[in-house]
Amino acid sequence: MARLLQDPSKLHPSEWYTANKVQCATTESQKSRSECMTAESWRLVDEIEKTTQKTQSDVNKKLEQRQEEIKFWKRELDNKLEQIVHETEILLTFKNRLERALEGCKEPLVVVQKCLLYRQRRVGIDLVHDEVEQELVKEAEVLQGIIALLGRTLEQTNEQIRQNRSAKYNLEMDLKDKFTALTIDDYCASLTNDTPHIRYADNAMKLEGNFISPEDWINFSNINVEKADKQRNNSLALKALIGGILSQSANDMRKQCEMVNAAFRNRVKEVKDAKHKLETLLAMVMDEIVTQEKNIAALKKAIADKEGPVKVAQTRLEVRNHRPNVELCYDTVHSSLMSEVQEITKNIQRQVEIMQEENLRYRLLASFNGLKDALAQAQIELKALSRRQLSLEEEIKVKENTLYIDEVLCMQMRESVYINNY
């Protein structure tokens, strides 16, 4: 009956006490561990807080340093940009000077070419490769050389302007990126733990994009600065070169222009002197023609004056030759008639000297076989004088044509040429 009343699931009191002790001990142990954990947690929280604050402070300092670096390079870039823009503007002014100088060379070259073309119209002996033509050819060569030099310099200037604009573009792009980066870092520096709208960014730790090293970052801007400096120095050197070329070109053009003008003045004087001499000779020839015509008239009259007595004497002789028989006597009359004919014939046929003198300036001595020979020679001389007259008149016209070309066409046209300092 006792076995029937006993519940096999009930535990012994000792087990109960043991279970309570275990519960108490376990609880105390768990509590102790929890307390240690809590203490460690507070220590860890405090340590992490300090570490976080220190890290955040370091980041803030690095942000400030980064901002200063960006500002430094931004100032450098701004300075170089201002310099390259200034040099480009000056170079554009020099480019305009070169273009005006090139344009200014066109008119003198056209004038030179027209002068050379006009002088091809000279005729006869005046169509000579004289000093004027030599200086004109030289002036054309000088102008063509200057035009070629200015053209090459203009191309070089355009290329330098392009290089400057390329450097300017790189500086502007770099400055734009620097401004954007500085704006971002300024915003980042302004963020605090209490700033609203801050959030977790899941992909913040991923290194997306083409990150570069700080050294590469510095080198990038440094390269842009060095390129800007190089192009600025090139611009300064090119400006000096352009200034020298423009000055030397203007001096060369003026010098050669004056050489041509002096050659023209000398040539015109020479031609005028030659023309004056030819006109003097023409006047002498004209006077000699008049004298020779008078001489021919005098010779003709002298011959005519002798024809009457000769005819009378010869007629008498011829008639007396018809006397009959013994009357055909060589008497004193016949002898006198023979002597008369011989004397007159001898006078007509004898050698004579013609001496002519005009205002005591010259004496012409010539021997002729008789009055008829003198007349024939005088007529030959008259024809020669006439030919000389025509030759002198033609030569004077040649000189007049040359003077018209050189003095009127060329020299007056050259008066319009003015060489500026560009």
CATH number at residue 171: 1.20.1260
Q: No. of H helices and E strands in the chain? A: 7, 2
Sign of CA dihedral 86, 89, 93, 94: positive
Are 235 and 165 spatial neighbours (Cβ–Cβ below 8 Å)?
A: no
Are 167 and 224 spatial neighbours (Cβ–Cβ below 8 Å)?
A: yes
In a domain, 372, yes or no: no
pLDDT grade, residue 7 (50/70/90)?
A: low
User: Is it the case that residue 262 has pLDDT exceeding 90?
Assistant: yes
Q: Looking at residue 190, what is its pLDDT?
A: 87
The pTM (predicted TM-score) of the whole model is: 0.72
Q: What is the mean pLDDT of residues 270-278?
A: 95
User: Is it the case that residue 201 has pLDDT exceeding 70?
Assistant: yes
User: Is it the case that residue 316 has pLDDT exceeding 90?
Assistant: no
User: Is it the case that residue 364 has pLDDT exceeding 60?
Assistant: no
Give the three-class secondary structure for 416: coil
| Rounded percentage of the chain residues whose pLDDT exceeds 90 | 54
Q: Any bridge partners for residue 369, and if so which?
A: 351
Domain interval for residue 252: 44-190+218-263
Q: Looking at residue 148, what is its pLDDT?
A: 96
pLDDT grade, residue 420 (50/70/90)?
A: confident
Q: What distance in Å separates the CA atoms of residue 56 and residue 37, rounded to the nearest whole number?
A: 27
In a domain, 397, yes or no: no
Q: What distance in Å separates the CA atoms of residue 397 and residue 393, rounded to the nearest whole number?
A: 6
In a domain, 75, yes or no: yes
Q: What distance in Å separates the CA atoms of residue 48 and residue 323, rounded to the nearest whole number?
A: 186
User: Is it the case that residue 401 has pLDDT exceeding 80?
Assistant: yes
User: Is it the case that residue 75 has pLDDT exceeding 60?
Assistant: yes
In a domain, 85, yes or no: yes
Q: Looking at residue 368, what is its pLDDT?
A: 34
348-to-303, 377, 378, 379, 418 alpha-carbon distances in Å: 7, 15, 16, 18, 75
Nearest by Cα to 392 from 362, 291, 384, 122: 384
Q: What's the structural domain count of the chain?
A: 1
Q: Looking at residue 347, what is its pLDDT?
A: 61
